[in-house]
Amino acid sequence: CYFQIFDAFKSRLHDSNSKVNQVALETMHKMIPLLKDNLSPVINMLIPAMVDNNLNSKNPGIYAAVTNVIQALCQHLDNYLLLQPFCTKAQFLNGKAKQDMTEKLA
């Protein structure tokens, strides 16, 4: 069930329309406290979708939304669920996104 929902939602997280993208990130931020560790089956799919195009965004609304999502993930999910996807992203991202992910890992 989660896979179907989040597979469809994932494409909104990197929509070419920045307003759609930002609203998707803000919605994700609201869902995390409600779903918590129930997100574990889809976390490896969601983190790349959220981080890849958004963490280096020059749009301040998108950048703020994605950093809020990352903070919510850290607050509401067990750290062991986040370790592997955060390590992978920190390894392959560049610029500010790499710095942000490395700080979250630390």
Cβ 33 vs Cβ 26: under 8 Å: no
Instruction: List the domain boundaries for the chain.
Output: 1-104
pLDDT on residue 56: 92
Q: What digits encode the pLDDT tens for the residues 9-35? A: 999 998 999 999 999 999 999 999 999
pLDDT on residue 106: 83
pTM (2 d.p.): 0.92
Rounded distance between C-alpha atoms, residue 99 and residue 105, angstroms: 10
pLDDT on residue 3: 84
For residues 20, 25, 31, 36, the Cα torsion angle rounded to the nearest 10 degrees is 150
Within 10 A of 8 (CB to CB), how many other CB atoms are there? 9
Q: What is the DSSP string of 41-53?
A: TTHHHHHHHHHTT
68 in helix, strand or coil?
helix
Q: Which one is the CATH code of 1-104: 1.20.81, 1.25.10, 1.10.10, 2.60.40?
A: 1.25.10
Q: What digits encode the pLDDT tens for the residues 59-93? A: 999 999 999 999 999 999 999 999 999 999 999 99
